[in-house]
Amino acid sequence: MVHEMKCPYCGNPDTRVIDSRPAEDGSSIRRRRSCDSCGKRFTTYEKVETIPLIVIKKDNNREQYDREKIEKGILQACYKRPVPAEVIEKTVEQIENEIFNREEKEIPSKVIGEIVMRRLKDLDEVAYVRFASVYREFKDVNTFMEELKSILDKK
């Protein structure tokens, strides 16, 4: 089934592709289009549709994968840290690519958490410790200190 791309400005179904190239993330195609009716140009992105990924939670409940949850967790961990927004976005894309490259239909939330922590450790140590303290549910100051000590020992 072929769907025509409607112009976002005038709604005309007659648009044409004037340029195609891979998007920066490498997982989609960026297309510049021109409307035959109003002459305006716009950009669309074409992405491969994937089978929904199911996340297995700690309590064995299952829910559909949600990129926003990873973004939210990383944004909270990086709050008031010197990490630019584009670096955070790139990190989320790298995490998502790593998750989907596993080509599994289901993935434990624990695996996603470990991937996020590994990426945050390279990104910003304070953000990593913030995320780890929530993710690993540090029960007291001693477990928190053990995590800090493991970071310092690796330096």
- What's this model's pTM, rounded to 2 decimal places? 0.62
Residue 91: exposed, middle, or buried by beta-carbon count in 10 A (0-12, 13-18, 19+)? buried
pLDDT tens-digit readout, 75-127: 999 999 999 999 998 999 899 989 988 888 999 999 999 999 999 988 998 89
User: What is the predicted pLDDT for the residue at 34?
Assistant: 94
Per residue in 132-141, pLDDT (tens digit) is: 888 777 666 7
d(CA 120, CA 130): 10
